[in-house]
């Protein structure tokens, strides 16, 4: 939702075209891939960091929690509301 607030498309032929060719979906997929590969990356450098698999997964959960809370606070802020209403949705 955050990426769609700032990288939106209103000139589309169908909803599928807007979703498949939008920059917001690319950014969302890249962020999801980073979080999907984070345990693997942490596991590969576990010897250097001296952590176990359980610790690596705990670190990822903490990172996801912080990321999700930051998005939640942003979407409930006046900045996001102002951007939403400036798009003509309210």
Q: What pLDDT is recorded for position 90? A: 57
**87 Cβ contact list (under 8 Å, min separation 6):** 5, 8
Query: What would the two tokens of residue 10 be?
Result: 């209103």
Q: Which residue matches tokens 């929690």?
A: 65
Is the pTM here over 0.85, yes or no? no
Query: What would the two tokens of residue 66 be?
Result: 């912080």
Kind and range of the H or E run holding 37: helix 23-44
* Domain residue ranges of the chain, discontinuous segments joined by +: 2-86
Q: What pLDDT is recorded for position 3? A: 76
Q: How many CB atoms lie within 10 A of CB 56?
A: 20
Cα 61 from Cα 64, distance rounded (Å)? 5
Q: What pLDDT is recorded for position 78? A: 92
């Amino acid at each position: 939702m955050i990426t769609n607030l700032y990288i939106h498309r209103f000139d589309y032929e169908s909803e599928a075209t807007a979703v498949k060719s939008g920059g917001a979906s690319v950014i969302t997929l890249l962020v999801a891939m980073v979080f999907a590969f984070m345990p693997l990356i942490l596991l590969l450098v576990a010897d250097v960091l001296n952590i176990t698999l359980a610790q690596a997964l705990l670190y990822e959960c903490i990172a996801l929690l912080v990321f999700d809370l930051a998005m939640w606070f942003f979407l409930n802020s006046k900045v996001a509301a102002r951007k939403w209403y400036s798009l003509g949705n309210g």
